[in-house]
Structure 1
Amino acid sequence: MAGLVIPVAEWAALHDLVHRYAARVDERDFAGVAQLFGGDGVLVLPDPPHDFGPVREHPSPEGVAAALSVLDDVPLTAHGITGVVFDPGGNPAARGRITCVAHHVGPRDGRFADAVWHRHYLDRYAKTGGGWRFARREAHLDLLDTREVRATRLGR
């Protein structure tokens, strides 16, 4: 099994990459998210409620930023990474399966509602001169739930 282990320093760098993605999305730093992708990187998103699997491809960092900009209409998001698994994918490449719970909070009927997306990402990473980058990130939606929100930093 020694061939299936990512060295600790590489694991830490990949871990940092997936957490930076979540943090930058929550900060609405879509240009910063785009920088986490290689020049030919691709983000593939689902199209809920019709397709929960990755069906909409957004190639290039510019395409990634444009795709995520739809979140500008969502006043608050909070992405929590709940699991990370990395495997070697060739040299210098790796693969990952990342689980996440993403909260999308916005107004609904005079109150706030939280659309909770339980998702997992199937990632391919490439090591570049600037460190690890996403070569391909496929987002799979596993469960979608909506909840009423009692209070947020946005108010009640």
Structure 2
Amino acid sequence: MTLVEIPASDRTDIAALVNAYAYAVDAREAATVSTLFTNDGVLMVPSAPERLTPTRELVGRAEIEAELAQLDAFVVTSHAITGHHLSAYDGDTARGVTRCEAHHISRSRRDDSLRDLVWILRYADDYRRTAAGWLFERREITIDVVDRRTIHDATPRKAARSRDTER
């Protein structure tokens, strides 16, 4: 594997983009997430649980925003970036892989217990430098591992959001 020479400022800006995506997803800010993509950006998502590889193509900010609004069905989500590697760079475009552990907490309708659907994710990312800074041009989500857990407690989303905004 060859390490790609990338100016530190671009590495920092692209890493900030990746982290902004994870934060906005967990904050249920689908409109913000969509602005992290170019106008004609593409988000490829799996059709879980049937297919764990990217199968559905969402093109443009409106489609991306609509898809991510579905996360409102969860009590809490938590996306932790576990790795980020840039593999190509030419000054105005870059390519990379982001790894993430994503927790999706829901309440069972049957017995009101809390469940954690854990996905170990891999994002194949194409980035583009724009007048607004680095944005996703294409992001393909693959689910590498699925784990289901019963949990004992979860902070309601509203309380978690209010603490984030107090800082």
Shorter-chain TM range is: over 0.9
2:81 aligns with 81
Q: Where do residues 1-156 of structure 1 align in structure 2 (5 Å cutoff)?
A: 4-108=4-108, 109-154=111-156
How far does the alpha carbon of each residue in 1:33-56 deviate from its partner, in whole angstroms, 9 at most, with x for none?
000000110000001111111111
Contact 2:43 2:58 in 1 (8 A): yes
Cα separation, 1, equivalents of 2:153 and 2:31: 30
Question: Percent identity among equivalent residues?
Answer: 36
The alignment's TM-score, normalised by the length of structure 1, stands at 0.94
SS in structure 1 of the partner of residue 63 of structure 2? helix
Letter of the 1:146 counterpart: R
Cα separation, 2, equivalents of 1:2 and 1:53: 26
Contact 1:5 1:87 in 2 (8 A): no
Which 4+ runs in 1 deviate beyond 4 A?
none
How far does the alpha carbon of each residue in 1:119-143 deviate from its partner, in whole angstroms, 9 at most, with x for none?
1000000000000000000000001
> How much does 1:3 deviate?
7.8
Of the structure 1 ranges 138-147 and 90-99, higher mean CA displacement relative to structure 2 is found in 90-99
Q: Between Structure 1 and Structure 2, which shows a larger proportion of strand residues?
A: 1
The alignment's TM-score, normalised by the length of structure 2, stands at 0.88
Segments of 5+ residues of structure 2 without an aligned counterpart are 157-167
Letter of the 1:85 counterpart: H
Contact 1:100 1:118 in 2 (8 A): yes
SS in structure 2 of the partner of residue 52 of structure 1? coil
Letter of the 1:29 counterpart: E
Cα separation, 2, equivalents of 1:136 and 1:85: 16
How far does the alpha carbon of each residue in 1:90-148 deviate from its partner, in whole angstroms, 9 at most, with x for none?
33100010000000001013210100010100000000000000000000000111101
> How much does 1:2 deviate?
8.6
Corresponding residue pairs, total: 154
